Amino acid sequence: MTLKVYLSGEIHTDWRERIIAGAEGLDVSFDSPVTDHEASDDCGVAILGAEDDKYWHDHKGAMVNAIRTRKGLEEADVVVVRFGEKYRQWNAAFDAGYAAALGKSLIILQRPEHDHALKEVDAAALAMAREPEQVVDILRYVLTGKLPA
Amino acid sequence: MTLKVYLSGEIHTDWRERIIAGAEGLDVSFDSPVTDHEASDDCGVAILGAEDDKYWHDHKGAMVNAIRTRKGLEEADVVVVRFGEKYRQWNAAFDAGYAAALGKSLIILQRPEHDHALKEVDAAALAMAREPEQVVDILRYVLTGKLPA
Amino acid sequence: MTLKVYLSGEIHTDWRERIIAGAEGLDVSFDSPVTDHEASDDCGVAILGAEDDKYWHDHKGAMVNAIRTRKGLEEADVVVVRFGEKYRQWNAAFDAGYAAALGKSLIILQRPEHDHALKEVDAAALAMAREPEQVVDILRYVLTGKLPA
Amino acid sequence: MTLKVYLSGEIHTDWRERIIAGAEGLDVSFDSPVTDHEASDDCGVAILGAEDDKYWHDHKGAMVNAIRTRKGLEEADVVVVRFGEKYRQWNAAFDAGYAAALGKSLIILQRPEHDHALKEVDAAALAMAREPEQVVDILRYVLTGKLPA
Amino acid sequence: MTLKVYLSGEIHTDWRERIIAGAEGLDVSFDSPVTDHEASDDCGVAILGAEDDKYWHDHKGAMVNAIRTRKGLEEADVVVVRFGEKYRQWNAAFDAGYAAALGKSLIILQRPEHDHALKEVDAAALAMAREPEQVVDILRYVLTGKLPA
Amino acid sequence: MTLKVYLSGEIHTDWRERIIAGAEGLDVSFDSPVTDHEASDDCGVAILGAEDDKYWHDHKGAMVNAIRTRKGLEEADVVVVRFGEKYRQWNAAFDAGYAAALGKSLIILQRPEHDHALKEVDAAALAMAREPEQVVDILRYVLTGKLPA
Amino acid sequence: MTLKVYLSGEIHTDWRERIIAGAEGLDVSFDSPVTDHEASDDCGVAILGAEDDKYWHDHKGAMVNAIRTRKGLEEADVVVVRFGEKYRQWNAAFDAGYAAALGKSLIILQRPEHDHALKEVDAAALAMAREPEQVVDILRYVLTGKLPA
Amino acid sequence: MTLKVYLSGEIHTDWRERIIAGAEGLDVSFDSPVTDHEASDDCGVAILGAEDDKYWHDHKGAMVNAIRTRKGLEEADVVVVRFGEKYRQWNAAFDAGYAAALGKSLIILQRPEHDHALKEVDAAALAMAREPEQVVDILRYVLTGKLPA
d(CA D116, CA D122): 9
Total residue count of chain D as it appears in this document: 149
Average pLDDT, chain H: 97
Low-confidence ranges of chain E (pLDDT < 50): none
Average pLDDT, chain C: 97
d(CA E41, CA E57): 8
| Cα of D34 to nearest chain A Cα, Å | 5
- For residue F128, the cross-strand partners are F108
Cβ proximity of E33 and E42 under 8 Å:
no
pLDDT in tens, D14-72: 999 999 999 999 999 999 999 999 999 999 999 999 999 999 999 999 999 999 999 99
**Is the CB of A67 less than 8 angstroms away from the CB of H147?**
no
Return the residue of C nearest to G56 by Cα: C56
Residues of C in contact with B49 (CB under 8 A): 130
Residue C113 is classified by DSSP as G
Helix (H) or strand (E) holding B9: strand B3-9
How much of chain F, in percent, has pLDDT values that exceed 70? 100
pLDDT in tens, G29-46: 999 999 999 999 999 999
Return the residue of E nearest to H59 by Cα: E56
pLDDT band, residue D86 (cuts 50/70/90): confident
Out of A129, A142, A145, name the one closest to residue D48 (CB): A129
**Is the CB of F63 less than 8 angstroms away from the CB of B142?**
no
Comparing CA positions, the residue from G26, G143, G14, G6 lying closest to residue G75 is G6
Return the residue of G nearest to C51 by Cα: G53
d(CA F57, CA F114): 31
**Is the CB of C147 less than 8 angstroms away from the CB of B42?**
yes
Cβ proximity of B37 and B110 under 8 Å:
no
- For residue A28, the cross-strand partners are A3
- SS3 string of E4-60? EEEEEECCCCCHHHHHHHHCCCCCEEEECCCCCHHHHHHHHHHHHCCCCCHHHHHHH
Comparing CA positions, the residue from C144, C104, A122, C26 lying closest to residue B34 is C144
Tell me the mean pLDDT per 10 residues along chain B, length 149.
96 96 98 97 98 98 98 98 93 98 98 97 98 98 96
Please give the sequence-ordered ranges of beta strands (E in DSSP) within chain D, or none if there are none.
3-9, 28-31, 78-82, 105-109, 127-129
Cβ proximity of H82 and H64 under 8 Å:
no
pLDDT in tens, A80-133: 999 998 889 999 999 999 999 999 999 999 999 999 999 999 999 999 999 999
Return the residue of G nearest to H60 by Cα: G127
Phi (first) and psi of residue A77, to 5 degrees: -90, -40
Which pLDDT does position E149 carry in this prediction? 85
pLDDT band, residue G149 (cuts 50/70/90): confident
Separation in Å, CA F94 to CA C138, D141, F64, H91: 45, 47, 16, 9
Spatial neighbors of H76 by CB under 8 A, at least 6 apart, are H4, H5, H6, H31, H99, H104
d(CA H35, CA H45): 18
Domain formed by B3-34+72-144, architecture: 3-Layer(aba) Sandwich (3.40)
d(CA G102, CA G127): 17
Which pLDDT does position G24 carry in this prediction? 98
Out of E35, E42, E64, name the one closest to residue F127 (CB): E64
Q: Compute the radius of gyration of chain A from its Cα atoms.
A: 16
Which pLDDT does position G35 carry in this prediction? 96
Tell me the count of E-G CB pairs closer than 8 A.
123
Comparing CA positions, the residue from B78, B143, B135 lying closest to residue B109 is B135
Helix (H) or strand (E) holding H4: strand H3-9
**Is the CB of D97 less than 8 angstroms away from the CB of C96?**
yes
Residues of G in contact with E128 (CB under 8 A): 55
Residue A51 has pLDDT above 90, yes or no: yes
ipTM of model? 0.97
Return the residue of G nearest to H62 by Cα: G126
pLDDT band, residue A64 (cuts 50/70/90): very high
Out of D94, D99, D122, name the one closest to residue C120 (CB): D94
Separation in Å, CA D136 to CA D14, D21, D72, D129, D132: 14, 9, 19, 10, 7
Which pLDDT does position E87 carry in this prediction? 84
pLDDT in tens, H30-73: 999 999 999 999 999 999 999 999 999 999 999 999 999 999 99
Listed by start position, the domains of chain D span 3-34+72-144
Cβ proximity of G5 and G28 under 8 Å:
yes
Residue G72 has pLDDT above 90, yes or no: yes
pLDDT in tens, G76-111: 999 999 999 888 999 999 999 999 999 999 999 999
Which pLDDT does position B149 carry in this prediction? 85
d(CA B84, CA B79): 16
Which pLDDT does position F86 carry in this prediction? 84
Angle at F118 between CA F112 and CA F121, to 5 degrees: 130
Residues of A in contact with F45 (CB under 8 A): none
Which pLDDT does position H87 carry in this prediction? 84
pLDDT in tens, C132-143: 999 999 999 999
Which pLDDT does position F14 carry in this prediction? 97
| Position with higher pLDDT, H127 vs B86 | H127
d(CA G25, CA G29): 11
Please give the sequence-ordered ranges of beta strands (E in DSSP) within chain A, or none if there are none.
3-9, 28-31, 78-82, 105-109, 127-129
Residues of C in contact with E3 (CB under 8 A): 71
Spatial neighbors of E35 by CB under 8 A, at least 6 apart, are E11, E16, F145
Residues of C in contact with B34 (CB under 8 A): 141, 145
Comparing CA positions, the residue from E30, E32, E11, E35 lying closest to residue E136 is E30
Cβ proximity of G47 and D137 under 8 Å:
yes
pLDDT in tens, D104-114: 999 999 999 99
d(CA D5, CA F100): 34
d(CA B8, CA B28): 16
Phi (first) and psi of residue A31, to 5 degrees: -130, 160
Helices (H), chain F: 15-22, 37-48, 54-75, 90-101, 119-122, 132-144
Q: What is the DSSP string of B106-147?
A: EEEE--GGGTTTTHHHHTT-SEEESSHHHHHHHHHHHHH-PP
Which pLDDT does position A119 carry in this prediction? 98
Residues of D in contact with G62 (CB under 8 A): none
Out of C1, C105, C147, name the one closest to residue B47 (CB): C147
d(CA D21, CA D2): 17
Residues of D in contact with C89 (CB under 8 A): 90
Cβ proximity of F8 and F79 under 8 Å:
yes
Three-class DSSP category at B54: helix
| Cα of C99 to nearest chain D Cα, Å | 7
Residue C87 has pLDDT above 90, yes or no: no
Residue D89 has pLDDT above 90, yes or no: yes
| Cα of E60 to nearest chain F Cα, Å | 7
Residue F45 has pLDDT above 90, yes or no: yes
Q: What is the mean pLDDT of residues A47-51?
A: 98
| Cα of D129 to nearest chain G Cα, Å | 6
d(CA E81, CA H120): 43
